[in-house]
Amino acid sequence: MDFFQVFIELAQSTVRVSTPLILAALAGLFTERAGVFDIGLEGKMLGAAFAAGCVAYITQSVYMGLLAAILVSVLLSLVHGYASITQRGSQIVSGVAINFVVAGSTVILGEAWFRQGGRTPALSESGRFSAIHLPFADAVRDVPILGQIYSGLLSGHSPLTYLAFLMVPASWWILYRTRFGLRLRAVGENPGAVDTAGISVIWLRYRAVICCGILCGIAGAYLSLSAGAGFTKGMTAGKGYIALAALIFAKWRPKNILFACLLFGFLDAFAIRYQGFAFPLIGKVPVQLMQALPYILTVILLAGFIGKAIPPKAGGVPYVKER
């Protein structure tokens, strides 16, 4: 197998692994730009993946599974919003609580309903998203370089993968070219000024957490309806935390989020592909080290290469209206 073909296959794996990271990081972007720190991305994705697997199996409809995933994720987001916005509780504690509750409840409910060790039954083709093959992909497959890129890298992905990449410019446009985005960024920097202008800070932040819930729901649905054939215990495997790291690494900018998620996705895809591979001069790397590689490099990148990342000024601080 030539080098270019290996590169195409690794790049294709990178795109697939990066899809839930992009969606989850963009979800966190909306909340953190509004001043709500959300460490519960992991729990929302996991709950959405479980809901999608259950409903898609019961209804045999992939779209009903996607809808269920979004509804469950939005509900969890509203719980986080109620605790941290309305009740002015700790946003960190609220997010961590969601992660723990969802991690346990998905296994308990899965075992109680399906008796398969916390898994959902395997989905049929009607319960999963099929890959989209772009026009003329098969015809140009043998064309050197450009044909391989078009047919092997750009074509053959899930609809949710294309949606994730389209959401990057869409998020940029919403945040920087719409009135809603301007107000959202303002409420994350100076909520008092927004309130003085007669705009509800609480309602804006609730809309931000709803946007977060929708995107996390799609990310979770991708895991169980596209990347997999149903829900498995802990299938998010820390992707919510990596997405949060990518968001910080990207300094809360949509374009940078795309590249950061692709980088972390590449590290994950590389670790999966080359487990047990004998490298020149190094030899065979232990499987455990290769599995930990994405997380180790995430810590290294955040510690040594990110520079100074300045979050929104009102991030993580409950808003108390002045009387």
220-274 confidence digits (pLDDT tens)? 999 999 988 899 998 998 899 999 988 988 888 999 999 989 988 888 888 877 7
C-alpha 168: how far from chain center = 12
Expressed in percent and rounded to 5, the helix, strand and coil fractions of the chain are 70, 0, 30
pLDDT at 276 over 70: no
**Residue 119 pLDDT exceeds 90:** no
Question: pLDDT value at position 220?
Answer: 95
Q: Who contacts 130 (Cβ-Cβ below 8 Å, separation ≥6)?
A: 158
Helix, strand or coil, per DSSP, at residue 132: strand
Residue 281: left (phi > 0), alpha (psi -120 to 50), or beta? left
Contacts of 22 (CB under 8 A, 6+ apart): 164, 165, 167, 168, 243, 257, 258, 261
The tens digit of pLDDT for each residue in 203-212 reads 999 999 999 9
Q: How high is the mean pLDDT of the chain?
A: 88
The residues with which 132 forms a beta bridge, in sequence order, are: 157
**pLDDT in the model for residue 308:** 67
Q: Which amino acid is at 58?
A: I
Q: What are the backbone dihedrals phi and psi of residue 209, each rounded to the nearest 5 degrees, phi first?
A: -70, -25
- pTM comes to 0.92
Q: Side chain identity at 322, as an amino acid letter?
A: E
Q: What is the band of 310 on the pLDDT scale with cuts at 50, 70, 90? A: confident
**For residue 161, pLDDT beyond 90:** yes
Please tell me what DSSP assigns to residue 39.
-
Instruction: Say yes or no to pLDDT of 87 above 60.
Output: yes
Contact indicator for 81, 205 with CB cutoff of 8 Å: yes
List, in order, residues 6 or more apart from 284 with CB less than 8 Å away: 276, 277, 278
Domains in the chain (CATH in brackets) are 9-128+159-304 (1.10.3470)
**Position 106 confidence tier, pLDDT thresholds 50, 70, 90:** very high
pLDDT in tens, 162-178: 999 999 999 999 999 99
**Per-residue pLDDT tens over the stretch 34-80:** 999 989 999 999 999 999 999 999 998 999 999 999 999 999 999 99
Looking at residues 112-121, what average pLDDT do you find?
Answer: 87
